[in-house]
Homo-oligomer: A and B are copies of this chain.
């Protein structure tokens, strides 16, 4: 009695959650979160849209709905994704999920038997790693350089793990590193997926938040054989509290995903889906994205410039072209001691090993978030971090 399943027994609450406990102290400046900038939420528009919905079609917004998602939102997404060459009417289907996280967890559920392998970038997003762990997947991390996963290492991992369910990648402004996978590397990942007959799960929560450089075609858009599953979300462009994401894959895959979602959440909150639909059809989306990119660009620049100015030169920082995160790497020494000293001085960052497929593996890196803190907090926080760093480096 009270024996938990093997699949859940070994999974610990995310290390980030533990860090976030410190941040409930109002004196702590948190660079540890992953929240979108609150000033980016189109509050007034959402309020107006919500009121319209609850006046014009309240029963539709409150009654049970279908698992596949609000038909109008699905159609808009299909049309939008068709324009981006990421949806093919003939072969593909699209389902709404309660955030991209649910799409990712569902992929583990429907594709990965216990003990089978999921290959990830090393480091990768802890929420996805933990989702995979709850299905007893064997996680294999592939080392990255500035262009993404190193193809030779990926091929080694595929050779060594013939029972691989899929390769999980976040090609744009990756969480936690902020790195973007180059076009050449995306092609190589897809070629290797074909060669070793495995799927690719492409997670793209930040794609619309590019504030520098030029867009790189998604892996999904290059796939002609139904090997790529794509996960998208409204969390970073509209509101994460709504919990509206989506998943594109072959029709057969989405039919299995539908069964899985029907038996877990039945459907995604329908009011939220209707809000998302009216939002994308009623506002000037390009203008909205432009505003978001401006906010994120300014915050990222402020943090990077502050870091460059104040921190010891021996500490390295990635320079993301979008997204929410900067990845810092110490030249040597004890990263955990650095993070501990930082939080004792009221600045929270996330230790890099939290994002590893093996959390016990030593790491010299840490994750900084620039979207949640205010400009003032960014400046103050970096100043404190620099003081801590200077006593150690």
| Chain A contacts to B: CB under 8 angstroms | 1-8, 11-14, 17, 33-36, 38, 41, 43, 46-47, 50-51, 54-55, 58-65, 98-99, 101-102, 105, 109-114, 127, 130-131, 133-134, 165, 197-199, 226-227, 235, 239-243, 250, 252-253, 255-256, 258-260, 262-272
Contacts and interface: CB of A to CB of B under 8 A. Distances in A.
A59 B46 contact: no
Contacts of A34: 64
Contacts of A235: 64
Contacts of A198: 1
B250 A6 contact: no
A75 to B, nearest CB: 17
Most B CB contacts (10 A, CB to CB) among A109, A112, A133 go to A109
A98 B98 contact: yes
- How many monomers of this chain does the complex have? 2
Given A63-B35, A63-B240, A114-B114, A1 B199 contact: yes
Q: Which of A2, A5, A34, A252 has the most chain B CB atoms inside 10 A of its CB?
A: A5
Nearest to A244: B269
A12 B110 CA distance: 13
Contact of A109 (B1, B134, B266, B268): B134
Nearest to A135: B5
B112 A63 contact: no
Nearest to A51: B51
A343 to B, nearest CB: 19
A175 to B, nearest CB: 13
Contacts of A114: 114
Nearest to A54: B47
Contact of A241 (B5, B64, B260): B64
12 contacts: A1-B199, A2-B252, A4-B110, A5-B109, A33-B64, A38-B62, A46-B58, A50-B54, A61-B241, A102-B264, A134-B259, A241-B271
A133 B271 CA distance: 29
Contacts of A133: 263
Contact of A243 (B110, B112, B265): B265
